[in-house]
Structure 1
Amino acid sequence: MQFSSSPARRSPPTITTLVLLSGLSALSLNLFLPSLPNMALHFQADYKVMQLSIALYLLVNAVLQILIGPIADKAGRRPVLLWGLALFLLATLGCIYAPNVEIFLVFRMCQAIIVVGMVLSRAAVRDLYDQDQAASMIGYVTMGMAIVPMIGPAIGGLLEESFGWKANFWLPFVLGVMTLLLTYSDFGETSAKSGKTLIQQFREYPELLRSPRFWGYSLSSALSSGAFFAYLGGAPFIGTELFGLSAAEVGIYFGAPAVGYFFGNFVSGRYSVRFGVNRMVLWGCWFNAAGVAMSAILFLAGFGTALSFFGFMTFVGIGNGMTIPNATSGALSVRPHLAATASGLSGAIMLGGGAGLSALAGTLLTHETGAMPLLWLMLTTSVLAVCAILSVIRRERQLGL
Structure 2
Amino acid sequence: MEAHPLHAAPPRRGGAVILLLALLTAITPLATDMLLPGFPDMADDLHASDSSVQLALTAYLLGMLIGQLLLGPVSDSTGRRRLLIWGSALFAVFSLLCAFATNAELLDAARVLQGVSGSAGMVLARAVVGDWYRGAEAAKRFSILSVIFAVAPIIAPVLGGLIIRASSWRALFVVLAVLSVILMAAVATGLPESLPPGQRHKGGVGPAFKAMKELLGQRPFLGYVLTFSFANIALFAYISGSSFVFQDIYDLSETEYSLSFALTAIGVLIGGAMVANLAAKAGLNRLLTLGVGVGVIASAAHAVVAVSAGNTLATSLIFMFLCMFAMGLTIPSVMTIGQEIGRRSGGAASALIGAGQCLFGGIAAPVVGAFGTDSDKPMATLMIIGFAAALLCLVAIARPWQRQGELTPGTDETAPAAAPVH
In the alignment, what sits opposite 2:136? Answer: 132
Matched, 1:91 2:94: yes
2:377 paired with 1:372: yes
1:174 and 2:181 aligned: no
Evaluate the alpha carbon distance shift between residue 158 and residue 306 of structure 1 in structure 2; reply closer, same or farther with a 3 A threshold. farther
| Partners of 2:377 and 2:50 in 1: CA distance | 20
Which residue of structure 2 aligns with residue 353 of structure 1? Answer: 360
Larger displacement relative to structure 2 (309-318 or 119-128) = 309-318
Structure 1: 5+ residue runs without aligned partners? Answer: 1-8
Asked if 1 retains the 8 angstrom alpha-carbon contact of 2:69 and 2:352, the reply is yes
Give the corresponding residue for 1:141. 145
Correspondence 1:157-196 to 2 at 5 A? 157-192=161-196, 193-196=200-203
Is the Cα–Cα contact under 8 Å of residues 161 and 248 in structure 1 kept in the other structure? no
Please name the residue that 1:202 is paired with: 209
Give per-residue Cα distances to partners, 1:279-303, cap 9 Å, x unaligned: 1110111121222123233334425
**Aligned equivalents of 2:354, 2:373: Cα separation in 1:** 31
Could you say which residue in structure 1 is the equivalent of 2:80? 77
* 1:270 maps to 2:280: no
State how 1:45-84 maps to structure 2 within 5 Å: 45-84=48-87
Check conservation: 2:143, 2:272, Cα contact below 8 A: yes
Q: Is the 8 A contact 1:89 1:177 kept in 2?
A: yes
Give the equivalent residue in structure 2 for 1:381. Answer: 386
Given the alignment of the two structures, is residue 396 of structure 1 paired with residue 376 of structure 2, yes or no?
no
Q: Secondary structure at the match of 1:14?
A: helix
Are 2:21 and 1:18 equivalent residues in the alignment?
yes
Is 1:365–1:374's contact at 8 Å kept on the other side of the alignment? no
Three-state SS of the structure 2 residue aligned to 1:164 is coil
| Counterpart position of 2:409 | none
Can you list the C-alpha shifts for 1:337-383, whole angstroms capped at 9, x where unaligned? 1111110111101210111111222212243xx21232122112112
1:313 aligns with 2:320: yes
Q: CA deviation at 1:275?
A: 1.6
Partner Cα distance (1:266, 1:342) in 2: 24
Question: Paired residue for 2:265?
Answer: 258
Q: In structure 1, what is the equivalent of residue 330 of structure 2?
A: 323
Give per-residue Cα distances to partners, 1:96-129, cap 9 Å, x unaligned: 1223332222111111121211111111111111
CA distance in 2, matches of 1:104, 1:299: 34
The 1:396–1:171 alpha-carbon spacing in structure 2 relative to 1, beyond 3 Å, is same
Say whether 1:218 aligns with 2:225: yes
Following the alignment from structure 1 to structure 2, what is the Cα–Cα distance between the partners of residues 183 and 333? 25
* Alignment partners' CA distance in 2, 1:252 and 1:164: 20
Whether the 8 Å CA contact 1:218–1:328 is kept in 2: the answer is no
Q: CA deviation at 1:397?
A: 7.5
Cα distance between partner residues in 2 of 1:218 and 1:212: 10
Post-superposition CA distance 1:311-356 (Å, at most 9, x none): 3211111111111111121112223111111101111012101111
Q: CA deviation at 1:130?
A: 1.3
RMSD, aligned CA: 2.1
1:91 counterpart letter in structure 2: F
CA distance 1:296–1:352, shift in 2 (3 Å): same
Q: Do structure 1's residue 122 and structure 2's residue 126 form an aligned pair? A: yes
Give the distance between the partners of 1:218 and 1:324, measured in 2 at CA: 11
- Name the CA distance, whole Å, in 1 between partners of 2:161 and 2:214: 45
**1:293 and 2:300 correspond:** yes
% identical equivalent positions: 28
Matched residues in 2 for 1:256 and 1:380: separation?
24
Distance (whole Å) between structure 2 residues aligned to residue 88 and residue 161 of structure 1: 24
- Across the two proteins, how many residue pairs are aligned to each other? 391
Please name the residue that 1:362 is paired with.
Answer: 369
Distance, in Å, in 2 between the alignment partners of 1:314 and 1:69 is 32
Aligned to 1:30: 33
- CA deviation after TM superposition for structure 1 residue 38, in Å: 0.7
| Contact 2:50–2:369 (Cα < 8 Å) also in 1 | no
d(CA) in 1 for partners of 2:203, 2:39: 44
Q: Gaps spanning 5+ residues in structure 2: where?
A: 1-9, 405-414, 418-422
Query: Once the 2 structures are TM-superposed, how far is the Cα of residue 150 of structure 1 from its aligned partner?
Result: 1.1
For residues 87 and 130 of structure 1, the distance between their equivalents in structure 2, rounded to whole angstroms, comes to 31
SS at match of 1:191: coil
SS in 1 for 2:399: helix
Alignment partner, residue 112 of structure 2: 109
Q: Deviations over 1:238-265 (max 9, x none)?
A: 2233222222222222234321111111
CA drift of 1:70 comes to 0.9
TM-score (norm 1): 0.92
Deviation per residue, 1:118-145 (Å, 9 max, x gap): 1111111111111332122101222123
Q: Distance in 2 between matches of 1:104 and 1:272?
A: 42
TM-score with structure 2 length normalisation? 0.87
User: Which residue matches 2:408?
Assistant: none
1:278–1:389 contact (8 Å) kept in structure 2: no
